[in-house]
Amino acid sequence: MSINYIYPEFEVVRNPNRCICCRVCERQCANEVHRFDADGKVMLSDESKCVNCQRCVSLCPTRALKIIKSDCVLRENANWQNQTIKEIYKQAESGGVLLSSMGNPNPLPVYFDKILINASQVTNPSIDPLREPMETKVFLGKKPNKIERDKDGNFINNLPPQIELSMPVMFSAMSYGSISYNAHKSLALAAQKLGILYNTGEGGLHEDFYVYGDNTIVQVASGRFGVHENYLQAGKAIEIKMGQGAKPGIGGHLPGTKIVGDVSKTRMIPEGSDAISPAPHHDIYSIEDLRQLVYSLKEATAYKKPVIVKVAAVHNIAAIASGIARSGADVIAIDGFRGGTGAAPTRVRDNVGIPIELALAAVDKRLRDEGIRNNVSLVVGGSIRSAADVVKSIALGADACYIATAALLALGCHLCRTCQTGKCNWGIATQNPELVKRLNPEIGSQRLINLMTAWKHEIKEMMGGMGINSIETLRGNRLMLRGIGLNEKELEILGISHAGQ
Amino acid sequence: MKKIYVNEKWCLGCHLCEYNCAFANSGETDMVKALKDKEISPRIHVEEDGKITYAVSCRHCEDPVCVKSCISGALSKKDGVVTIDKNKCVGCFTCVLVCPYGAVIPTDKHAAIKCELCLKNACGYPACVKGCPNKAIVYEER
């Protein structure tokens, strides 16, 4: 097509007074935006290729570069917004499904931002976490309903296998293939040092990472990629992935171009073949079917590994969770509609699913009402952005949170949302060895450890402020939350009062 | 003693070390003022061959041939660091010829320059190490 309908989204602004032509921008841009013009001895740029990942901005030693949003706009129209029109142009040209990466960026309500946390004043003492012990350790898994004793009165250990976490946060599923070897290694190293878990996603476990097994959740998803007995034995827990917040109801597709070398070996599929995860598990069409898989996995691992069932937050999530809680699963993981992805159809990502805050509140209430809350632990994900979101999630009823986008940001991700191109300049969402090496796991893992340590301090501060010294006491403690700017129905679903009440 | 080492595995070939080196040894406090529109003479060089990149600077050899070859006594080894006294250097560049790493660099000011671990400039700590974005260049005891 000869007419270019879409004007570049970003402008590369270079301050010629500061640019020393060191060419680091040129060398670091996998999209080939920058180039050196030897005749004029100046750097030139082609902004049409820029995805605004800010790699050049971050590495420019003289801060000569900035990327700004282009102010070339189409005529204003509240109904036909610029983005909508550009998407039409793209589809008119390509004839294809629009693809996007990372979480839903649209301005839909973020309930976490409309929930406020309580603090102690006068009538009850707050606690200073720097002076007094503060417990953030949690155990995930099925809890027994009663204490059992033998005929001599001694305790019978009837505790099913548990996952011990030093703080109520885990790194959620990102497959080796969707992210790089070095990104996985950073997560594994950090999880081990922090005493938490990371998750393999549906890509198998690279042989180098079996040593981190005690800090690994191994995932079994609809494509069953990389699943074998040793893999199941290797992890601390097994996760059955039924759905993902970014793309509920659809499967996954890792293009053959990314199935190279170790990725192919780890996934146990030929090099260059597309890795297609079906939308459903072809052996699961009911809770009874799910129960069969849960028990197959337990049987295969001698009932030593807790089984997590991960679902996307969708309309009847409370009823679905109730079913899962009866399936024999030890943990339910729920992924909200803002959860990230390495690639999803834009329409699905932006329009399918529900917010995690509402899903969590509904599920926790339903399981309590039915008296089966102790059957399972609840883990929530789908845009947990800060320690405050963690505290609010726990108070709404979660046992722990899953984070992935926040973890990737710590590794250098700038949320340019073009993971699907495989040209991640930060060495995260790519399999190109030249780009993968940009992420040194020594640096990456330390940044993850720093982030989690900071969150842990903040969680303790907020707990102390509420006069709570154990995360167990905060769980489901909705009296510690108040809504602001929410209507009656929203407050009812969240199970919290309005600020001022 | 602590020396500069390079991990080829993590070298990105970004060449920032060269610019950080040139800036650290420029005596200027502003990088733009120091390097803009100038040919830089860094004491560290990124060797490239296709996709392999590797920064090379003085190894501060056990038995430095550059010191042995120096006809004017400008090069010497003190506390493990091979240093050059530019006032004594006569610009014969024998050291440039004999260094097996190409780590002594001739300049047009009739004196050779080489990495002195930023001990003589205001940086005080190797600027290439400090500025390396991927910890490919490290300053450590081995």
The secondary structure of A403-444 as a DSSP string is ESHHHHHHTT------GGGS--TTSSS---HHHHTTS-HHHH
The residue segments making up the domain with residue A377 are 138-498
Distance from CA of B136 to the nearest CA of A (A): 9
Task: Kindly report, residue by residue over B22-57, the tens digit of the pLDDT.
Answer: 999 999 999 999 999 999 999 999 999 988 999 999
User: Taking CB atoms and an 8 Å limit, are B15 and A443 in contact across chains?
Assistant: no
Distance from CA of B137 to the nearest CA of A (A): 12
User: Domain with A51 in it: what CATH number?
Assistant: 3.30.70.20
Contacts of A19 in chain B (CB under 8 A): 36
Three-state DSSP state, A297: helix
> Angle between the A387-396 and A356-369 helix axes, to the nearest 10 degrees?
30
Q: What distance in Å separates the CA atoms of residue A175 and residue B12, rounded to the nearest whole number?
A: 25
Q: What is the pLDDT of residue A255?
A: 82
Residues of B within an 8 Å Cβ radius of A: 9-10, 12-16, 18-20, 23, 31-32, 35-37, 51, 131, 133-136
Q: Is residue A450 located within the same domain as residue A336?
A: yes
Is B129's pLDDT higher than 90? Answer: yes
Is B130's pLDDT higher than 90? Answer: yes
A442 touches chain B (CB under 8 A): yes
CATH of domain B1-57+117-142: 3.30.70
Query: CB A311: neighbour CB atoms within 10 A?
Result: 23
Restricting to A residues 19-58, those with a Cβ less than 8 Å away from any Cβ of B are 19-20, 22-24, 27-28, 41
User: Taking CB atoms and an 8 Å limit, are B31 and A443 in contact across chains?
Assistant: no
Q: Is residue A69 located within the same domain as residue A145?
A: no
Three-state DSSP state, A472: helix
DSSP state of A494: H
User: Taking CB atoms and an 8 Å limit, are A61 and B12 in contact across chains?
Assistant: no
Distance from CA of A274 to the nearest CA of B (A): 27
Q: What distance in Å separates the CA atoms of residue A393 and residue A387, rounded to the nearest whole number?
A: 10
Contacts of A25 in chain B (CB under 8 A): none
Q: What distance in Å separates the CA atoms of residue A331 and residue A417, rounded to the nearest whole number?
A: 30
Q: Is residue A62 located within the same domain as residue A146?
A: no
User: Taking CB atoms and an 8 Å limit, are B32 and A434 in contact across chains?
Assistant: no
Q: What distance in Å separates the CA atoms of residue A461 and residue A455, rounded to the nearest whole number?
A: 10
Q: What distance in Å separates the CA atoms of residue B11 and residue B71, rounded to the nearest whole number?
A: 36
A63 touches chain B (CB under 8 A): no
Considering A46, A65, A96, which residue would you say is the last residue of a domain?
A96
Q: Which DSSP string corresponds to A321-378?
A: HHHHHTTT-SEEEEE-TT---SSEEHHHHHHSS--HHHHHHHHHHHHHHTT-GGG-EE
Contacts of A442 in chain B (CB under 8 A): 135
Distance from CA of A18 to the nearest CA of B (A): 6
Nearest CA in chain A to B50: A434
> Is residue A120 one of the residues assigned to a domain?
no
Residue with tokens 């893999």: A231
Q: What is the pLDDT of residue A240?
A: 97
In angstroms, what CA-CA distances link B26 with A150, A289, B36, B63, B130?
A: 81, 71, 12, 29, 16
Q: How far apart are the first and last CA of chain B?
A: 8
Contacts of A61 in chain B (CB under 8 A): 16, 19-20, 23, 31, 131
Q: Is residue A307 located within the same domain as residue A456?
A: yes
Q: What distance in Å separates the CA atoms of residue A344 and residue B3, rounded to the nearest whole number?
A: 48
Task: Kindly report, residue by residue over B63-102, the tens digit of the pLDDT.
Answer: 999 999 999 999 999 999 999 999 999 999 999 999 999 9
Find the CB nearest A24 among B9, B15, B136: B15
User: Taking CB atoms and an 8 Å limit, are A27 and B20 in contact across chains?
Assistant: no
> Is residue A73 one of the residues assigned to a domain?
yes
Name the pTM for this structure. 0.95
Considering A62, A96, A130, which residue would you say is the last residue of a domain?
A96
Within its chain, how far is the Cα of A326 from the centroid?
26
Q: Is residue A71 located within the same domain as residue A176?
A: no
Query: CB A491: neighbour CB atoms within 10 A?
Result: 16
Residue with tokens 């060895």: A433
Q: Is residue A91 located within the same domain as residue A145?
A: no
Q: What distance in Å separates the CA atoms of residue A379 and residue A199, rounded to the nearest whole number?
A: 13
User: Domain with A408 in it: what CATH number?
Assistant: 3.20.20.70
Q: Are A402 and A335 in contact (CB under 8 A)?
A: yes
- Which helix (H) or strand (E) segment is A149 a member of? strand A148-149
> Is residue A105 one of the residues assigned to a domain?
no
Q: What distance in Å separates the CA atoms of residue A5 and residue A9, rounded to the nearest whole number?
A: 12
Q: What distance in Å separates the CA atoms of residue A59 and residue A412, rounded to the nearest whole number?
A: 12
> Is it true that B1-57+117-142 and B60-114 share their CATH fold?
yes
A15 touches chain B (CB under 8 A): no
Contacts of A64 in chain B (CB under 8 A): 32
Q: What ranges do the domains of chain B cover?
A: 1-57+117-142, 60-114
Q: Is residue A236 located within the same domain as residue A352?
A: yes
Q: Which CATH class is domain B60-114?
A: alpha beta
**Which candidate, A396, A406, A325, A331, places its Cα nearest to that of A365?**
A396
| Per-residue pLDDT tens digits of chain A, which is 501 residues long | 588 899 999 999 999 999 999 999 999 999 999 999 999 899 999 999 999 999 999 999 999 999 999 999 999 999 999 999 999 999 999 999 999 999 999 999 999 999 999 999 999 899 999 999 999 999 999 999 889 999 999 999 999 999 999 999 999 999 999 999 999 999 999 999 999 999 999 989 999 999 999 999 999 999 999 999 999 999 999 999 999 999 999 998 888 888 888 999 999 999 999 989 999 999 999 999 999 999 999 999 999 999 999 999 999 999 999 999 999 999 999 999 999 998 899 999 999 999 999 999 999 999 999 999 999 999 999 999 999 999 999 999 999 999 999 999 999 999 999 998 999 999 999 999 999 999 999 999 999 999 999 999 999 999 999 999 999 999 999 999 999 999 999 999 999 999 999
Residue A435: both structure tokens together = 């780009």
> Is residue A117 one of the residues assigned to a domain?
no
Nearest CA in chain A to B22: A22
Q: Is residue A145 located within the same domain as residue A39?
A: no
Residue B55: both structure tokens together = 């920064």
- Which helix (H) or strand (E) segment is A190 a member of? helix A181-194
Nearest CA in chain A to B134: A440
**How large is the ipTM?**
0.93
User: Taking CB atoms and an 8 Å limit, are B14 and A27 in contact across chains?
Assistant: yes
Q: Can you point out the beta strands (E) in B11-63? A: 45-49, 52-56
- As for how many domains chain A has, the answer is 2
User: Taking CB atoms and an 8 Å limit, are A61 and B131 in contact across chains?
Assistant: yes
User: Taking CB atoms and an 8 Å limit, are A438 and B32 in contact across chains?
Assistant: no
Find the CB nearest A437 among B12, B32, B35: B12
Q: What distance in Å separates the CA atoms of residue A225 and residue A220, rounded to the nearest whole number?
A: 8
